[in-house]
Structure 1
Amino acid sequence: MSEPFVGHGPGSREYRRLIIGLFFAGVATFAQLYATQAVLPQIAVDLRIGPAAAALTVSAATLGLAAGVIPWSMVADRIGRIPAMATGVIIATVLGVCAPLSDGILPLLVLRLGEGIALGAVPAVALAYLSEEVRASHAAAAAGSYIAGTTLGGLTGRLVAGGIGEVGGWRAGMWAVAAICVVSAALFLWLTPRARGFRPSARGAGPRALTRLLRPLRSARQLALYAQGFLLMGAFVAVYNYLGFHLAAPPFLLPAWLVTLLFVAYLAGTISSPWAGSLASRHGRYTVLLVAIGVAVAGAVLLVMPSTGAVLTGLVLFTAGFFGAHAVASGWVPADADPEVRAQASSLYYFGYYAGSSLFGWALGLVFGAVGWGWFIAGVVAMCAAAAVIAGVALRTSAAGRV
């Protein structure tokens, strides 16, 4: 009689393929999701709209993703984690190719919304898939590696779109990103090993679906973790949405190509995500979460300085802190949830995460336009502080936070 499956461990061929495969899933997802962010000033000029309206191209995609994660988690319960993620990535890539054909802001927003809904398949189930396929003692580190792939995807999308967009326009930049996503999706499908810890369920539909979805919402710890994603992601996306507009104005007056290069700061998140996951495995999730938020706040304060060097340093710290906190919080959600509703718990986290991105990615732009960058950053710091206070109240005594 064969031994029960307890999860892949580091050193095994399946573990390596799983981590690398999900890494490319993260690239395929997040390169598309944020492809417009580096070319927002160009979109604003070409379509004759303001900064906040241009930023809606990011918010539409993240809003779609927020709307899609919960339905995708239910689909994944029935057809499997890998088929659900593969379907979403393929549909999103097709829509990503069509989006630059838009001749106005409304059709562009509609296509970006659909792209986001399709992309919701990956964050909705990736961490549930990890929790089922990786040994429990290595789940936090594995989650950090997956988040690192999402950061590299976000960086790739921004750099490619911004670099090529500077030469050939924002449409060419988005098409180049779509081509990268096609390759990344193919690598994800080829590398990811078949699921062994998943058991199909018909409970993802009907009245029981709502019951399963509501179960995590009865937990104060789960709600506190969802609040981390909502507040921190909202602050993070807002900074990257409007930093280009800020640096193009006095006293900086930086050219578009140089502003695009500042997105290299995203690499700080690629490094901090797996590092935070490893530290959380040794020192506890709660401690690492609060330290990461503190680093993000320190970086945000530096963004107020009228110095390019100070802004770059602040952006690196802010990015590293945010992704460290996100890696810990997102991996904590399925670890804390009941095994039967892990996919739903993860999807609720990402619903809050991208709802925050959509709301604050637009709303803080109104603050920026009305009262300036200093008050904009004050709002960012306040959101990070609120996340830390909520964590301190609800997560300090969690047993899962100490593993």
Structure 2
Amino acid sequence: MSLEKPKRSNDGLKNSAAILAVAFAGFSTFLDLYATQPLLPRFTEIFHASKAEVGLTVSAPTAAVALCAPIFGAIGDRFSRTRLMIASLAFLSLTTLLAATSTGLGSLIVWRFLQGAATPGVYVLALAYLAEEIDVSLVGRAMAAFVTGNVIGGWAGRSITGWIAQHTHWPFAFIVLGLLNGIGAFVTWKFLPPSRVRGGGATPLPLGRRIVGLATPALLANFAIGFNVLFSLVAVFSYVGFYLTASPFKLATGSLSTIYAVYLVGAFVTPIAGRFIDRVGSRRVLVGSLGIGALGLMLTLIPFLPAVVAGLAVCCSSAFVCQSASTTRLRSAAPPGLRSLASGAYVTCYYLGGSVGGIAPGLTWKYGGWAGCVALVVIVELMTMGLATYFWSEARTAKLDASA
């Protein structure tokens, strides 16, 4: 009996080390994904290219994430997730450093695509790792810590590249990011405990049967919710710039870039929400967060800048909390042998939602301006609340899965 207490202490240390290491891995990975956004105006001058052409430096890596996520999901249930995550971070570091050698826009886009291809090697596998390696009572907090790392990394990447490009040559930004990616690989190798779980057992199911196993109502609802979450976030932050640069705000480009600082509010709120997810469940937190997010969106309709900024802070915080809730839900929705594959499918749907979210609001903007965009996103959020309310009920999930 005297050995029981040290064991608990040791398990607690492993859980803490795993959560911190995965959060830092998420931070290191998301430094790069949207890092060229503040450089786009300068790229149009340097490469003598159109806005759409330089925009490929952002869309190429996100497209690569959506394409490669299922691949990592398929192999993540068969091989060591820890080793795959370390290898992905090392490859990300290499491609980021090589991006600094780009002599033209075409070569930069290629390196950006390869950066995106490495990203799900961390993102997808980290979701599955946390779901299976972390104590069930801590999964919500672990997912929230990982999402927080992603949020801070995305904000830091934009800030680093913008600041360096303003004071020196833009390739130095990629050198700094590449070195940070390398530090992330080292920290993951040093502190992330090895995967104890590999696949669903000694003989993993064939890939075809595992894909069929994803077609349960609970998992399909989870994928749809992930799609809607990033759709809403990208829709809001892609079109709010048009709203704020027009009358009555008329913000300059430099002032507009500071709007991304509201992401830091989400980084503060998300870990707190993780504790509530562990206590009251994913469904209640997600539905409540969506309701608050919709109210925040409506706040942006007030033609008063502080109200708009406050509404955007609420909106992005809601999205990050919903992301934590939906990724936490994957643990119970996906069987152990399918968790990496389910994570890959989720990430693909998540980033497809982001791609559609950057296009679809253009149609509502044409007829209703910013109010039309807000209406579209609120409708999507209400649909998401309906999905979670219906499909995330424990009794309903058990009944549907039994009949599937």
Deviation at residue 106 of structure 1 after TM alignment: 4.2
Deviation at residue 279 of structure 1 after TM alignment: 0.7
Deviation at residue 120 of structure 1 after TM alignment: 0.9
Q: Determine whether 1:263 maps to 2:260.
A: yes
- For residues 273-309 of structure 1, what are the alpha-carbon distances to aligned partners after superposition, in whole Å with 9 as ceiling and x for unaligned? 2222211221121111111111222222233443321
Name which of 278, 285, 288 aligns with 1:288.
285
User: After the TM superposition, which residues 88-127 of structure 1 pair with which residues of structure 2 at under 5 Å, given as runs?
Assistant: 88-102=88-102, 105-127=105-127
Partner of 1:68: 68
Name which of 314, 336, 340 aligns with 1:339.
336
Contact kept in structure 2, 1:334 and 1:345, CA below 8 Å = no
**Distance change in 2, residues 1:341/1:186 (3 Å):** same
Contact kept in structure 2, 1:85 and 1:125, CA below 8 Å = yes
Q: Determine whether 1:188 maps to 2:185.
A: no
TM normalised by structure 1 equals: 0.86
Contact kept in structure 2, 1:37 and 1:240, CA below 8 Å = no
Name which of 235, 240, 251 aligns with 2:237.
240
Deviation at residue 249 of structure 1 after TM alignment: 4.4
Letter in 1 for 2:370: W
Partner SS, residue 206 of structure 2: helix
Partner SS, residue 79 of structure 1: coil
- For residues 234-270 of structure 1, what are the alpha-carbon distances to aligned partners after superposition, in whole Å with 9 as ceiling and x for unaligned? 2212333444454444433434443333222112222
Q: Matched residues in 1 for 2:112 and 2:338: separation?
A: 29
Deviation at residue 74 of structure 1 after TM alignment: 2.4
Partner of 1:382: 379
Partner of 2:402: none
Partner of 2:208: 210
Q: Matched residues in 1 for 2:238 and 2:167: separation?
A: 21
Equivalences, count: 394
Deviation at residue 212 of structure 1 after TM alignment: 0.7
**Distance change in 2, residues 1:96/1:122 (3 Å):** same
User: After the TM superposition, which residues 129-144 of structure 1 pair with which residues of structure 2 at under 5 Å, given as runs?
Assistant: 129-144=129-144
Q: Matched residues in 2 for 1:396 and 1:197: separation?
A: 28
TM normalised by structure 2 equals: 0.86
Q: Matched residues in 1 for 2:57 and 2:235: separation?
A: 13
Contact kept in structure 2, 1:265 and 1:315, CA below 8 Å = yes
Letter in 2 for 1:281: D
Partner of 2:151: 151
Q: Determine whether 1:298 maps to 2:313.
A: no
**Distance change in 2, residues 1:194/1:257 (3 Å):** same
Name which of 291, 305, 308 aligns with 2:305.
308
**Distance change in 2, residues 1:271/1:377 (3 Å):** same
Partner of 2:354: 357
**Distance change in 2, residues 1:378/1:300 (3 Å):** same
Q: Matched residues in 2 for 1:127 and 1:324: separation?
A: 15
Q: Determine whether 1:12 maps to 2:12.
A: yes
Q: Matched residues in 2 for 1:243 and 1:203: separation?
A: 50
Contact kept in structure 2, 1:58 and 1:358, CA below 8 Å = no
Partner of 1:81: 81
Q: Determine whether 1:57 maps to 2:57.
A: yes
Partner SS, residue 349 of structure 1: helix
Deviation at residue 363 of structure 1 after TM alignment: 4.4
Q: Matched residues in 1 for 2:32 and 2:319: separation?
A: 20
Unpaired runs of 5+ residues, structure 2, are 399-404
Partner of 2:27: 27
**Distance change in 2, residues 1:367/1:189 (3 Å):** farther
Deviation at residue 272 of structure 1 after TM alignment: 2.5
Q: Matched residues in 1 for 2:227 and 2:105: separation?
A: 26
Name which of 222, 229, 248 aligns with 2:219.
222
Partner of 1:251: 248
Deviation at residue 40 of structure 1 after TM alignment: 3.6
Q: Which moved more, 1:82-91 or 1:101-110?
A: 101-110
Q: Matched residues in 1 for 2:165 and 2:230: separation?
A: 26
Deviation at residue 208 of structure 1 after TM alignment: 1.0
**Distance change in 2, residues 1:223/1:179 (3 Å):** same
Q: Matched residues in 1 for 2:165 and 2:242: separation?
A: 16
Q: Percent identity?
A: 28
Deviation at residue 178 of structure 1 after TM alignment: 3.0
Partner of 1:317: 314
Q: Determine whether 1:274 maps to 2:271.
A: yes
Q: Which moved more, 1:55-64 or 1:365-374?
A: 365-374
Unpaired runs of 5+ residues, structure 1, are none
Partner SS, residue 78 of structure 2: helix
Letter in 2 for 1:211: R
**Distance change in 2, residues 1:43/1:308 (3 Å):** farther
Contact kept in structure 1, 2:97 and 2:178, CA below 8 Å = yes
Q: Matched residues in 2 for 1:244 and 1:43: separation?
A: 19
Q: Which moved more, 1:294-303 or 1:237-246?
A: 237-246
